Amino acid sequence: MSKHKKRIGVLTGGGDCPGLNAVIRAVAKTADNNYAMEVIGFLDGYEGLVLNRFVNLDDKDVSGILTRGGTILGTSNRANPFKYPVLQGKEYVYLDRSAQCVQNFEALGLNAIVAIGGDGTMAASAALMERGLPIVGVPKTVDNDLEGTDVTFGFDTALQTATEAIDKLHTTAQSHHRVMIVEVMGRYAGWLALGSGLAGGGDIILMPEFPYDVDAICEQIRLRNSLGKNFSIIVVGEGARQKGGEMVVKRRVETSPDAIRLGGISYQLSEQIENRFSIETRVTILGHLLRGGSPSAYDRILATRLGVQAVRLVERGEFGKMVAVKGNTISWVPLTEVAGKIRKVTADHSWVTAAESIGLCLGIPTSIPLSDYPTDETRVDISK
């Protein structure tokens, strides 16, 4: 390694999504072509920094990866350096390995780290900044729920996948005169449900932000039947819940910073509908299908722009920032302002008002304006 060359590390943390490889490619190519920087890639997110596992990344290593889903570096949603799970006997203990991260960073002669991830990764990055590591964040998640940016890469591809699935379910719903419930990812935010419901022609859209009223849903189905529309498509986010009820937790992964794994609200809703009147319902849970596949053109371009801007911030020595989308501009926000926070759908968002204008049911009584409906204002803090 040349003494005059800067050397940076890049890692991908949290759940995978389409476009991660496009960012890695952009970081490696921009660093080499514009600033003669050397780049290494840490394997499996912050676990690679803790365990000093990495690979060199030059032009040939990132050639041909733009169109590939997933991440060539691997990822982990359990490798929080401040709460690192270590198996002792039959139980896990949680250790603070942040000092090891600093030691490995210095031993490798790095000048900065580009951390690509969601809210958990940004929270860990902000905390490591306090330990003295110079970090620039890049936002990703199919859930589109990261604070500080208008959109995250990976969301557009997941939105297209969900929309295509809803399109295909329309024909069987019509043929069998059924209610089809499509459950999508999104965790505590309803962006995927709202977007795919709008784009796929859903009749009822249920989001975590607005706890649903089963009677309002059934009334919408009855209304459609009275108009000769003897089928309905319900798009539900995995974090949706009945008014007065709880989110459906499929399981818990205690070694993960966010232990809750949501899933199954669609089966609960199916039973509730069938108990109220005689109509068959069927459930389709898209799950991890939404994380896979080649990134859309939009996500490839967005990921490339974000990766380029991240390296520019590194070159200027502007650390502790996350590159972000504001309108059509690539900007940045302080990591401390986004760490562990979630951006939720609001009643006045243009997608919501568009859904209301075309008569879609959002799971609340028609007599109550959505702006007056008691919403879920809980700010879920997963940084601990």
Please identify every residue annotated as catalytic.
Answer: 143
What 8-state DSSP symbol labels residue 296?
A: P
Q: Report how far apart the first and last C-alpha atoms of the chain are (Å, whole number).
A: 38
- List CB contacts of 214: < 8 A, sequence separation 6 or more: 242, 269, 272, 273, 276
Sheet containing strand 281-285, edge to edge, reads 204-206, 232-237, 179-184, 281-285
25 Cβ neighbours under 8 A, 6+ residues apart: 62, 65, 66, 304, 307
* Selection from 171, 163, 195 nearest residue 282 by Cα: 171
Q: Please name which of 237, 266, 262 lies closest in space to residue 251, comparing C-alpha atoms.
A: 262
- CB atoms under 10 Å from CB of 193, counted, come to 30
C-alpha angle 302/304/305, rounded to 5°?
Answer: 65
Strand partners, 206: 236
DSSP per residue, 297-335: HHHHHHHHHHHHHHHHHHHHT--SEEEEEETTEEEEEEH
Structure tokens of 97?
């390995």
